[in-house]
């Protein structure tokens, strides 16, 4: 797909490869009008939008699944051959990651759970690998894909808000699960309705319940939303800067280098923050006030 | 930035990945880490124990050495005493033997003196008899004079 102007170039890079159903009577990018609904790849941003909720970002899913599977395959390989004797180089590296994650979980999670540590490990490594895709030269994979006729390709899954929101909503579900498991449904509801304003007078308390609920609900919902948008925002902005730098002609190499070096810090930091907040939120969820 | 079913796919993938990690990746590696920690702790404890044992052994060696030295001294003393004893015994024996030899020699001398005296008195009797017969000029009846001669001999013997 040829790109003419800077705006088109940027828009092209920010468009996911979307697969979904276009409704009947929709006018496609080439001017043809659909006589009946059809499942197809979107060829413009407008088409992708028209597909509605039941559409898939094939590129995000592909890269996130490949990276997640690669992470698990590598770690599984090491885990199966792991020895308590002298470790291989690869095992040492994996152990460093394990000890880092285990230390973070021990520091931040008060309580015992078999799920938290593997969850934190998965979040950390997976998010890190998805962020790492940001350091692949931005035109390399989309350019190759264009040669074989794939119209769009966004290689960094964590610049897709669906991906980060998918992670954070899973964490949100776990927050609710842990809250109810630790305090019961009644305790969870009480936590949402009897704080922060509490009154000994029952009639006044009834009046305060809606106010409490609004405040607490915002607090609760802000957790997954901020978790998802922080990661998405950082990576989206980073990606956008790479795209802008790619438009700068001969200034590109030094600028690209500087931003890439800085970005190495960002991608590790964002993966770490996502993991740490996941642990902290779950720890808070199962603590009694 | 469309929100769509990718979200759902991502959640399912996340759940599966976390489950896999929890089931097959986390436990063996943590097990290995704990095992290694235990191994190292055991190794350190063993080395500490070995060091303590070494100290004990050193102390025991010093003790044994002292004991051996005392024993050796005792043996040397004993030997010295025994040597002195042997020398004393030898001296004693030698002295006794000397005395015995002296006594034997004295008795032999006495015996020989007695013998010589006996033979001398016999010869003297013979000489006295011969002298007397010469003086008398005739042979005295030896039988008759026997008593006389014997009395003479006894007198001579007593005077000797």
Check residue A251 and give its pLDDT.
Answer: 87
The stretches in chain A having pLDDT less than 70 are 1-4, 289
Check residue A2 and give its pLDDT.
Answer: 47
Rounded to a whole number, what is the distance in Å from the CA of A119 to chain B's nearest CA?
A: 5
Which candidate in A104, A131, A212, A234 is catalytic?
A234
Cα-trace Rg, chain A: 23
Check residue B160 and give its pLDDT.
Answer: 61
Using an 8 Å Cβ cutoff, are B140 and B132 in contact? Answer: yes
Residue A76 and residue B24: Cβ atoms within 8 Å?
Answer: yes
Known catalytic residue: A230?
Answer: yes
Residue B32 and residue A83: Cβ atoms within 8 Å?
Answer: yes
Residue A84 and residue B39: Cβ atoms within 8 Å?
Answer: yes
Whether pLDDT at B140 is above 70: no
Task: List CB contacts (< 8 A) between B40 and chain A.
Answer: none
**A22 - beta bridge partners?**
A38
Task: List CB contacts (< 8 A) between A170 and chain B.
Answer: 11, 14-15
Burial track A143-166 (b if 16+ CB lie within 10 A, e otherwise): eebbeeebbbbbbbbbbbbbbbbb
Confidence of residue B71 (pLDDT cuts 50, 70, 90): very high
pTM score of the predicted model? 0.77
Task: List CB contacts (< 8 A) between B21 and chain A.
Answer: 72, 75, 118-119, 121-122
Q: Mean pLDDT across the stretch B68-76?
A: 96
Using an 8 Å Cβ cutoff, are A105 and A116 in contact? Answer: yes
Q: Mean pLDDT across the stretch B13-21?
A: 95
**A39 - beta bridge partners?**
A21
Classify residue B94 by burial, with Cβ atoms within 10 Å: 0-12, 13-18, 19+: exposed
Task: List CB contacts (< 8 A) between B31 and chain A.
Answer: 82
Rounded to a whole number, what is the distance in Å from the CA of B5 to chain A's nearest CA?
A: 5
Known catalytic residue: A170?
Answer: no
Q: Going by DSSP bridges, is the β-strand pair A38-41/A55-57 parallel, antiparallel, or unpaired?
A: unpaired
Check residue A278 and give its pLDDT.
Answer: 95
The CB density around residue B62, as the number of other CB atoms within 10 Å, is 10
By Cβ distance, the residue of A52, A65, A121 closest to B21 is: A121
Residue B6 and residue A82: Cβ atoms within 8 Å?
Answer: no
**Residues on B contacting A at a C-beta cutoff of 8 Å:** 1-11, 13-15, 17-18, 20-22, 24-26, 28-33, 35-36, 39
Rounded to a whole number, what is the distance in Å from the CA of B31 to chain A's nearest CA?
A: 8
Task: List CB contacts (< 8 A) between B35 and chain A.
Answer: 84
Residue A167 and residue B10: Cβ atoms within 8 Å?
Answer: yes
Nearest to A140 by CA among A159, A157, A128, A154: A154
Please report, rounded to a whole number, the percentage of residues in chain B having pLDDT higher than 70: 93
Residue A56 and residue B5: Cβ atoms within 8 Å?
Answer: yes
pLDDT tens digits, one per residue of B78-137: 999 999 999 999 999 999 999 999 999 999 999 999 999 888 888 888 888 888 777 776
Rounded to a whole number, what is the distance in Å from the CA of A168 to chain B's nearest CA?
A: 9
Check residue B1 and give its pLDDT.
Answer: 62
- ipTM score assigned to the predicted complex: 0.90
Check residue A1 and give its pLDDT.
Answer: 42
CA separation for the pair A17, A12 (Å, rounded): 10
């Amino acid at each position: 797909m040829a790109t003419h102007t800077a705006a088109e170039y940027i828009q092209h890079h920010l468009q996911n490869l979307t697969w979904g159903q276009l409704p009947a009577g929709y006018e496609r990018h080439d001017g043809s009008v659909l006589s009946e609904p059809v499942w197809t790849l979107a060829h413009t941003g407008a088409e992708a939008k028209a597909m509605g909720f039941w559409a898939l970002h094939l590129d995000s899913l592909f890269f996130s699944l490949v990276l997640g599977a690669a992470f698990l395959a590598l770690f599984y390989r090491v885990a199966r051959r792991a020895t308590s004797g002298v470790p291989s180089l690869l095992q040492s590296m994996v152990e460093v990651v394990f000890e880092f994650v285990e230390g973070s979980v021990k520091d931040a999670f008060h309580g015992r759970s078999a799920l938290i540590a593997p969850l934190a490990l998965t979040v950390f490594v997976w998010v890190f690998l998805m962020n790492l895709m940001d350091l692949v030269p931005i035109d390399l994979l989309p350019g190759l894909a264009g040669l074989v006729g794939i119209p769009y390709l966004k290689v960094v899954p964590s610049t897709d808000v669906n991906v980060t929101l998918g992670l954070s909503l899973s964490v949100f579900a776990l927050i609710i699960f842990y809250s109810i498991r630790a305090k019961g449904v009644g305790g969870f509801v009480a936590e949402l309705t009897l704080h922060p304003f509490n009154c000994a007078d029952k009639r006044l308390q009834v009046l305060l319940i809606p106010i409490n609920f609004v405040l607490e609900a915002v607090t609760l919902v802000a957790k997954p939303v901020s978790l998802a948008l922080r990661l998405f925002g950082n990576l989206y902005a980073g990606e956008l800067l790479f795209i802008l730098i790619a438009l700068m002609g001969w200034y590109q190499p030094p600028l690209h280098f500087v931003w890439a070096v800085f970005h190495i810090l960002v991608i590790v930091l964002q993966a770490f923050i996502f993991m740490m907040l996941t642990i902290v939120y779950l720890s808070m969820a199962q603590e009694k006030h | 930035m469309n929100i769509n079913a990718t979200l759902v796919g991502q959640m399912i993938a996340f759940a599966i990945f976390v489950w896999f990690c929890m089931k097959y990746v986390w436990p063996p590696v943590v097990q290995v880490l704990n095992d290694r920690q235990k191994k190292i702790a055991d190794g350190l404890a063993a080395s500490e124990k070995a060091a303590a044992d070494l100290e004990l052994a050193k102390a025991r060696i010093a003790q044994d050495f002292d004991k051996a030295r005392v024993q050796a001294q005792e043996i040397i003393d004993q030997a010295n005493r025994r040597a002195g004893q042997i020398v004393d015994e030898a001296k004693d024996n030698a002295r006794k033997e000397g005395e015995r030899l002296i006594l034997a020699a004295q008795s032999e001398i006495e015996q020989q003196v007695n013998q010589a005296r006996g033979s001398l008195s016999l010869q003297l009797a013979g000489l006295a008899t011969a002298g007397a017969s010469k003086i008398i000029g005739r042979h005295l009846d030896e039988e008759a004079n026997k008593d006389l001669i014997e009395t003479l001999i006894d007198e001579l013997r007593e005077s000797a």
